[in-house]
Amino acid sequence: MFLWHYYLALPLLITIQIYKAQGCDEFTDLGLSHAIIGTSLKIRLLLYTRDNVTCGTLMSHTNLHAHPQFNLSRPTTFIIHGYRPTGSPPMWLQNITEMVLAREDVNIIVVDWNYGAANVNYFKAVENTHKAADNLTAFIKKMQEHGSSLSSIHMIGVSLGAHISGFVGANLNGSIGRITALDPAGPQFTGTSKEDRLDPTNAQFVDVLHTDMDALGFREPLGHIDFYANGGADQPGCPRTILSGTKYFKCDHQRSVFLYLDSVNQTCTHKAFPCSSYKEFLDGKCLNCDSFGSAGCPVFGWL
């Protein structure tokens, strides 16, 4: 992509064009040293569209006219990561941006709050969730001023990012179109009031996927519809002992993202069976979808 075109007329009527290539803006990559020292909150917004699928553009929070590829007549999807204890970028970011843009012509804004999420002290990262939400709320209000509809906004939040999405929605009186919460964080949110966590009133539609409710995730329903993959805990293929190292702590929690990617990429369909308990499902008592008529049982993911 080229930013500037300079034209120089020579006596021989030859036109010379000089191009200045635009660099790509990347997600903040912090080392473990940053997480140990602790980081202060800073929000960076990286824009991806079908014109720049793999090349992020760092957005101004106030001057939206500076980004001509940011077309507010299109829907906008925000992707919000969670806690980053080592400061590294989420491994799934490029996959989700590319897959979503392959499915739909939208603006994707990756919310990079690694400065604020990167901290070995989890409680400090939790403290930053409301502040991050206030920052995003101001940006979305600026979008409104330029003609964007709140109904066309979809927020996809992972872990702490799910609650940030909820706080943004609450700030906007539940008017945003959709929040998809991927294994919302449980620690420091379980048992709190709806003002301090994700809640169904935060958007017109809130769908939630639980994959690690017995450890890092949230156990209780938080949306209009809540999906509990494999009962919401102990995902197939994830290690069951601490001897497996860091994978033991994050595999179940991260599975929510990879299941969502499967749905976006149409790799497989995640059909869900409404049931009062996982035990009843395992006993074969919840396999009838007749009550849903021709629509069939609910399907999780990108719709």
pLDDT of residue 21: 41
What is the arithmetic mean of pLDDT over 248-275? 93
pLDDT of 288 above 50: yes
Tokens of 152: 């066309």
Predicted local confidence at residue 250, as pLDDT: 94
Residue 124 has pLDDT above 80, yes or no: yes
Instruction: Identify whether 19 is part of a domain.
Output: no
pLDDT of residue 13: 32
* 133: CB partners within 8 A, 6+ apart: 164, 165, 166, 167, 168, 171
pTM score of the predicted model: 0.91
* CA–CA dist 32, 44 (Å, integer): 20
Could you tell me which residues are beta bridge partners of residue 110? Answer: 46, 79
State the average pLDDT over residues 260-286.
91
- Order of strands across the sheet that contains 76-80: 57-58, 44-48, 107-112, 76-80, 153-158, 178-182, 205-210, 225-228
* CATH code where residue 254 lies: 3.40.50.1820
Domain membership of residue 279 (yes or no) is yes
Least confident of 47-61, 92-106, 281-295: 281-295
Report if residue 17 sits inside a domain.
no
> Is residue 33 included in any domain, yes or no?
yes
Residue 241, both tokens: 């002992």
User: 40-49, 186-195, 262-271 — which is least confidently predicted?
Assistant: 262-271
Which H, E and C letters describe 197-245, residue by residue? CCCHHHCCEEEEEECCCCCCECCCCCCCEEEEHHHHCCCCCCCCCHHHC
Structure tokens at 209: 């996927």
**Per-residue pLDDT for 19 more than 50?**
no
Most confident of 1-5, 102-106, 243-247: 102-106
What is the domain count for the chain?
A: 1
Domain that holds residue 48: 24-300
3-state secondary structure of 6: strand
Report how far residue 55's alpha carbon sits from residue 268's, in angstroms, rounded to the nearest whole number.
28
Q: Are 76 and 127 in contact (CB under 8 A)?
A: no
* Catalytic residue annotation: 159, 183, 253
pLDDT digit string, tens, across residues 76-102? 999 999 999 999 999 999 999 999 999
Q: Does 187 have pLDDT greater than 80? A: yes
Q: Is residue 120 part of a domain?
A: yes
- Whole-angstrom distance, CA of residue 259 vs CA of residue 211: 10
Residue 143, SS3 per DSSP: helix
Which pLDDT value is given to residue 22? Answer: 61
Tell me how far apart the alpha carbons of residues 288 and 297 are, in angstroms, rounded to a whole number.
8
Q: What is the pLDDT of residues 212-222, one digit of tens each?
A: 999 999 999 99
Question: Considering the domain boundaries, does residue 222 fall inside one?
Answer: yes
